Structure 1
Amino acid sequence: MQRGYRGIKYTLFICCYIFWVISAALIAVGIYAKIAKEKDVVDTLTVDPALLLIVVGSVTFLITFLGCFGALRNATCLLKTFLGILMSVLVLQIGAGVGGFLFTDVVMERTEKLMMKAIIDYREDQDLENAIDFIQKKFQCCGVENYKDWSQNVYFKCSDTNPSLEACGVPFSCCVRLMNQTVLNTMCGYGKQQREEHLAKQSIFTTGCLQKIIWWAKNNLLLVAGLTASLLLLEVLMICLAAAQICWIKKVQQQKTEQATRNKWQRKDSYWYPAFAKFDEE
């Protein structure tokens, strides 16, 4: 019986500890990226990857710390708080998934606006710029709907009054990488917005990233579903372990209370002589 309790306790501790270490690493990376930036950069949660890492890491760090310390010290108060927060997060995740399925058009519209906002702030934040470049290289895409979305950015705006050297261009991450190319041509996207799609397609990706990401998600539906299900199952596992440890602690406390009550009455009974006791003097 004691082995089962220890198994529950240390399994919960190890699960929380792993996420605790990961969240601490996220916070460290986010703080380092934030310090390394310039002073006048974008400081918005939706378009600042460094700030997003710090916030997500801090929330996860706090939640998993409650689980770690509560499991290790058998603190029912911390375990109950951890259990309540984790159940709330699980309900919100399930609600977000159901809402996203029922209101797909609204979600897609909001996602498109968010991605367009990121394009507008492309040169304002180094981390955001690197993130967009990575996505465009990874999914072989350019812009949100198509390559001409880059005209929304002040540096790439296709206008006769735009003094930028990158006017009517696209970032180098939109360019098609030639075979055996060893030197990266950062000017390969210059002037590509002025070309028609069938001509621009020869040197840059013209399909938007939103469409490519949707295609990737559909083609890798089993992978996405598997990762999502694994995360939810892990959360359910930690919820069950926390609930089991709380029940076990309460059971032990109840047994101790009952034992203390029995000992108390036994001590009281010892004050009285048994009935019909013999008091013969020697």
Structure 2
Amino acid sequence: MALEGGMSCVKYLMFCFNLLFAITGLIILIVGIRAEINSYPYMNFTDENFYKFAPIVLIIVGIIVFIVAFFGCCGAVKENHCMIITFSVFLLIIFVAELAVGIAGYMKHTDLEDSVMRNLNASITQYPVDKNVQKTIDIIQTDLQCCGINSPADWADHGLPIPSTCCSAQEINNGVVADCTENSTNFHSKGCLTKLVVHMKDIGMVLAGVGVGIALVQLLGVIFACCLARSIRSQYETV
């Protein structure tokens, strides 16, 4: 009786955990999608693969979590030893993947500034001739309300005029948009380097926090699953 009562308790705890597990999967999926959206097109200015692949990893993990939660719920309700073991293995793999994303996020953000600086310097010279580079820089200067790398003077240092995206909502006189200059009312006086690094670091820290935090929650799932599988096996051996 004590064994059956203990197994029943673990079974219901396991079932409740899987409901939580499904919610964490949804959180992972949403965070991954938002990170993918928020990092575009900024990821083009860093060589750190973490910012390119971490959101995709979380999206894939989030989808897999729903499948794993199904195995966990069915295994707990039916007291199926094989399904519980399958659940434990999948959960352990997910735990390792999320922990890896979390650790990489905390480690890689320290090298981000040098990578962004290097890529911005290489890109600004290509601004007049490369339409893709021009589009990306224009988006960054518009979204982050910045201009140049360290300051707007970087454009003149490279022998280039200040782009119109260094200003917000330029006035239109007789159908002609006014030139963007340092004297313009809505001129972006701050450089893009600091703002871009802060933006990317914020994304990285969110990914790292979600990866590590949810991985620790899912570690409890592995423990519950192992306890339930052991209880089921012990019951069969007793019978």
- TM bucket (normalised to shorter chain) is 0.5 to 0.7
Q: Which residue of 1 aligns with 2:161?
A: 169
- Identity %, equivalent residues: 14
**Computing the radius of gyration over CA atoms, which structure comes out larger, 1 or 2?**
1
Distance 2:213 2:63 in 1: 17
Post-superposition offset of 1:125: 4.5
The answer to whether 1:253 aligns with 2:229 is yes
1:115-172 per-residue CA deviation (whole Å, 9 max, x = no partner) reads 223323445354x5444223323444321123343368xxxx63xxxxxxxxx42211
Q: Which residue of 2 aligns with 1:202?
A: 183
Distance 1:183 1:77 in 2: 65
1:48-67 mapped onto 2 (5 Å cutoff): 55-67=53-65
1:160-195 per-residue CA deviation (whole Å, 9 max, x = no partner) reads xxxxxxxx422111136457989672x714xxxxxx
C-alpha contact 1:66 1:79 (8 A) present in aligned 2: no
C-alpha contact 1:66 1:81 (8 A) present in aligned 2: no
Q: Which residue of 2 aligns with 1:112?
A: 117
Distance 1:85 1:254 in 2: 25
1:172-191 mapped onto 2 (5 Å cutoff): 172-175=164-167, 177=169, 185=177, 188-189=179-180
Distance 1:182 1:83 in 2: 61
Distance 1:7 1:183 in 2: 64
How many pairs were matched up? 206
Q: 2:105 aligns with which of 93, 96, 106?
A: 93
Change (3 A) 1:79 1:257: same
Higher helix share: 2
Change (3 A) 1:184 1:15: farther
Change (3 A) 1:124 1:18: farther
Unaligned runs of 5+ in 1: 34-44, 101-105, 159-167, 190-199, 264-282
1:134-173 mapped onto 2 (5 Å cutoff): 134-150=139-155, 158=159, 168-173=160-165
Post-superposition offset of 1:107: 4.9
Q: Secondary structure at the match of 1:46?
A: helix
Unaligned runs of 5+ in 2: 1-8, 73-86
Distance 1:61 1:68 in 2: 12
Give RMSD over aligned pairs. Answer: 4.1
Q: Which residue of 2 aligns with 1:17?
A: 26
Change (3 A) 1:182 1:136: farther
AA in 2 matched with 1:170: I
Q: Secondary structure at the match of 1:201?
A: coil
Distance 1:64 1:109 in 2: 31
Distance 1:10 1:90 in 2: 23
Change (3 A) 1:59 1:124: farther
Distance 1:5 1:47 in 2: 44
Normalization by structure 2: what TM-score?
Answer: 0.65
Distance 1:61 1:19 in 2: 7
